[in-house]
Structure 1
Amino acid sequence: MAATHARALVSDLDFRPAEPAADMALLDRLALLALRRWSPIAAVTPSDGIWIDLTGCAHLHGGEEIFCRRLLAFCRRAGFTARVAVADTAGAAHALARFGRDPLSRAEPGATANAIAPLPIVSLRLAPGAISACRRFGLETVADLLPVARGPLARRLGLPAITRLDQALGAIAEPITPREDDEVPRVERRLLEPIGTAEAIEQVMSDLLRDLANLLRERGVGARSLRLTGLRVDGINQIIGIGTARPTRDVPHLLRLLKLRIERIDPGLGVEQFWLAAPHTEPLDAVDLGAVLAGDALMRDPARLVDVIAGRIGPRAVFRARPLESHVPERAVTRSDPMVLPGRWPAWTRPVRLFARPEPLNRVIALMPDQPPRRFEWRGRVHRIVAGDGPERVHGEWWRRDAEMWAVRDYYRVEDEEGGRYWVFRRGDGFAEDTGDLSWWLHGVFA
């Protein structure tokens, strides 16, 4: 309504000039914050809102509902009134956030049509002419549009209105152009003709890496992760990523890692545009190679080997064993970063292969209370012991649970007739019943 009409209705109405440019700048800063903290894809909507793509990252924030509640709390602390909606499509989320009943709306997967059915026609982001036509024909909600055939509906409302409806229902893709972080090193290649062969893609990777290496060198940083995005002619993005154990700008090494991912790129009818970004970078100073060039030292960097192995079998499969402060053997070691040197290991001997869980031994013959076993059966085979050493007594950690208050293990190193060396233990000290049931277990195998 006109400002004079509004002031006549509310005499103390607060009027302030609109600043669309400042509003868009604020939304852009919020989208950049979402990009850095919550999701790799965030964009400003055509109206007063932000799209955040939670695909593949919702579990990092405790699930969709928990993330939305945290997002509402963040907006309240920042002084904003916000409404959040989660749906399978961007159009449905846009409609629910602005016309839903609750500040937090969530459409179940596959139930988008039922979620937006009671919403008004204007929630579909239709043109003013299409909204007026809907009113003339008595169409008030989205549910009124769903049973109508697309042909007659397109003649009355126009084809753009049908496109908006199909986008909200998921029948037509609605790609989101994400907000790009200017601080992230990023290079681009636009091709004259689409490419689809592995050799051509490899050449583009090499060109992009050289450009990115120059950019990283200017900033004095090295890449810890790279993300390559290829835009196909049908508008679908193909994304692959790699990570490194240490920051690097070595083009041949990074190209070797990217080549391991080429088979994951589906070129379709061809890829016409590529982007290469380094989302995670770390400072990388000059390396002193004086001793290496003089021949006094040999340059050995295990980071390259770690990167190649992790690229083939996964980063979680490459780790280094690190000691922990614990007397119980299965708790005295953990996995750590393969590039981080472990602390000092205990002085006592431990087997090369330590089982995650001790395995029971059957038909054990041993002289109580302190002698190693002379015979035992393990995995269906009988082992006759010719030499043994021990015991090494390990007490339970009483501060963890009451069951370990008096628990005792007596460990022995034994060798059988065939030369196999094993690490076995007996539960209990052989005197008090509270210390253990005197059962025998095998906990590890020596080399």
Structure 2
Amino acid sequence: MRSTRPHLFVGGDANPVAFVHRVGNAVRLAGLDMTATAMGLTPGLTLADARARVPELEVFEYDAYADLDWLETLADSCARYTPSVAVDPPQGLVLDIAGCTHAFDGERRLAADVEARMARRGVLARHAFGDTPDAARALARFAGAPAPDEQRALKRLPVAALGLDGDATEALVRAGLKTVGDVAQRPLAGIAARFGGDAATRVRRLFGQAESPLTPRRVASPIGVERRFAEPIARTQHALSVLAELTAEAAVFLERRHEGGRRFEARLFRADGLVQSLRVETGRPTRDPDVLDRLFRERIDALADPLDPGFGYDMIRLDVVAAERLDASQLKLEGGEASVPAVDALVDRLSTRLGRTRVRRFAPRDSHIPEQAELMLPASDTKPVAAWKPVEPGEPPARPIYLFDPPQPIDSIAAETPDGPPARFRWRKSVHDVMCAEGPERIVGEWWRRHDVDVPTRDYFRVEDRRGRRFWIFRHGLYTETESPRWYLHGLFA
């Protein structure tokens, strides 16, 4: 348990410690240290009863969110053993170590390393191995020590190991079913009919007769490379050089798959269990180690708090979080490539240094309403977007470069015909005489979005005044729709 105060008690001569929270109108114990547990206190006991038994009890407010945050921090540190780590609140972690024990010379040495690292952080850990996540969870919480025979050890566990609610567990005990083996010996159809289907399902999952899915905190990346060190490295520059080697190694795997990475994540595991993460994104798929090395250095330079190796890094891992198809590019006959990669490299560097939401680009949107036809997205966004319709050679642009949002009202206007373009208009206290005009381009409102309101029709005109300035204006509403349509200036052409 963790509180809002930075105390850490693991037993010894210190006063017993308890964490409390309010349940209804009573303040009850939520967690205890080893000293308080040895004195006979148990979670759920009221604070008044606990004070009467142990007057020297030191009490702190229980913070469930800090508890979960601490548990997730421990889960991140366990990613050095396996990419499949699941959080099992309030005080458990489940690790899928299938195929991951070779780096530790067996599962026993792996478990010993986990307990040793937890102990260095002041955490008393108890582990168990199981063929299913439910079995490992139950054995770790209710078995005294790892057992060589898993099935026999599961049957000796109390019914509380099934993880049912309090009422269902009490009902099983009253019926004389005190252990998991007592429940498993009965027909599960009868157990389900009397105590609920969840009880039978938990038994099946415990013994591997039903699926026991594990939901890891992180989805395994398609490509991941790592380096483990016999002695922790304590220099940041050394860590960056190792990271450069990992990017080159990942590039080889990407090239074999004809892919390029879009998002990369480097995790630096410190010897004290803390994990530091560095993430970079690219505008286009890439597998160039030099580009990635430069982006990671830009990310480190942009950090508010510099990297602190502490007692050193004993493992560095690089994951390609997102990858896309990347085939070989065609060079120009006169040498060199197009300028697009240089622009992409600049966008990647700016996004890495300033933040992905600070560098944005326009993307077309499926709407014919002008002010809704574009979106501002991060320049490194991976979502595919459609392309705008290209303009015919020699034709003027259909849309202005600059749009007003909202459109600017025009004070007064003079038109030769009611439905024709304006001959003169006044905007921002200046009168503009129209020399030439083109239009109208009629745009009807999206009738499928609003059924209760009639959206007026817009007639757009491209006009040019005596001084050569070009405007994009529209009449909001036809004369058949309204008696006095309003005019607006929506954009300015270059």
TM-score when scaled to structure 2? 0.51
The structure with the largest helix share of the pair is: 1
Aligned to 2:40, which of 120, 134, 142?
Answer: 134
Tell me the C-alpha RMSD between the 2 structures: 4.5
Aligned length: 318
Equivalent-residue separation in structure 2 for 1:166 and 1:244 (angstroms): 43
Equivalent-residue separation in structure 1 for 2:43 and 2:451 (angstroms): 70
1:278 matches 2:319: yes
1:321 matches 2:363: yes
1:17-56 equivalence runs, <5 A = none
Aligned to 2:489, which of 430, 442, 445?
Answer: 442
Give the structure 1 partner of residue 100 of structure 2.
Answer: none
Equivalent-residue separation in structure 2 for 1:220 and 1:390 (angstroms): 50
Deviation at 1:241, TM superposition (A): 1.0
Give the structure 2 partner of residue 344 of structure 1.
Answer: 389
Q: Percent identity at matched positions?
A: 25
1:143 matches 2:50: no
Equivalent-residue separation in structure 1 for 2:386 and 2:399 (angstroms): 19
Contact 1:385-1:417 within 8 A present in 2 as well: yes
Letter in 1 for 2:260: G
Give the structure 2 partner of residue 239 of structure 1.
Answer: 277
Equivalent-residue separation in structure 2 for 1:251 and 1:401 (angstroms): 52
Aligned to 2:292, which of 244, 254, 266?
Answer: 254
Aligned to 2:372, which of 331, 334, 343?
Answer: 331
Give the structure 1 partner of residue 189 of structure 2.
Answer: none
What secondary structure, in the 3-state scheme, does the structure 2 residue paired with 1:310 have? helix
Equivalent-residue separation in structure 1 for 2:36 and 2:331 (angstroms): 74
Letter in 2 for 1:395: V
Contact 1:189-1:208 within 8 A present in 2 as well: no
Give the structure 2 partner of residue 359 of structure 1.
Answer: 408
Letter in 2 for 1:321: A
Contact 1:352-1:446 within 8 A present in 2 as well: yes
CA gap of 1:166–1:187, structure 2 versus 1, over 3 A, is farther
Compare 138-147 and 389-398 and name the one that shifted more. 138-147
Letter in 2 for 1:329: P
What secondary structure, in the 3-state scheme, does the structure 2 residue paired with 1:349 have? coil
CA gap of 1:375–1:207, structure 2 versus 1, over 3 A, is same
Equivalent-residue separation in structure 2 for 1:141 and 1:268 (angstroms): 43
Give the structure 1 partner of residue 153 of structure 2.
Answer: none
Aligned to 1:372, which of 422, 425, 445?
Answer: 422
CA gap of 1:186–1:318, structure 2 versus 1, over 3 A, is same
Equivalent-residue separation in structure 1 for 2:411 and 2:227 (angstroms): 66
Contact 1:195-1:271 within 8 A present in 2 as well: no
Equivalent-residue separation in structure 1 for 2:462 and 2:244 (angstroms): 55
1:36-435 equivalence runs, <5 A = 113-115=20-22, 124=31, 130-135=36-41, 141=45, 143=47, 152-153=56-57, 175-178=73-76, 179=79, 180-181=82-83, 183-184=220-221, 185-188=224-227, 190=229, 192-195=232-235, 199=237, 202-217=240-255, 221-231=259-269, 235-262=273-300, 263-264=302-303, 265-268=305-308, 270=310, 272-273=312-313, 275-282=316-323, 284=325, 287-288=327-328, 291-292=330-331, 295=334, 298-302=337-341, 303-316=344-357, 317-322=359-364, 324=366, 326=368, 328-334=369-375, 340=385, 342-345=387-390, 349-369=398-418, 370-378=420-428, 381-392=429-440, 393-402=442-451, 405=454, 407-429=456-478, 431-432=479-480, 434-435=481-482
Contact 1:397-1:405 within 8 A present in 2 as well: no
CA gap of 1:229–1:440, structure 2 versus 1, over 3 A, is same
Letter in 2 for 1:376: R
CA gap of 1:165–1:322, structure 2 versus 1, over 3 A, is closer
Deviation at 1:373, TM superposition (A): 4.4
Equivalent-residue separation in structure 2 for 1:238 and 1:440 (angstroms): 57
Contact 1:397-1:404 within 8 A present in 2 as well: no
What secondary structure, in the 3-state scheme, does the structure 1 residue paired with 2:284 have? strand
What secondary structure, in the 3-state scheme, does the structure 1 residue paired with 2:74 have? coil
Contact 2:295-2:352 within 8 A present in 1 as well: yes
Deviation at 1:312, TM superposition (A): 3.8
Contact 2:3-2:66 within 8 A present in 1 as well: yes
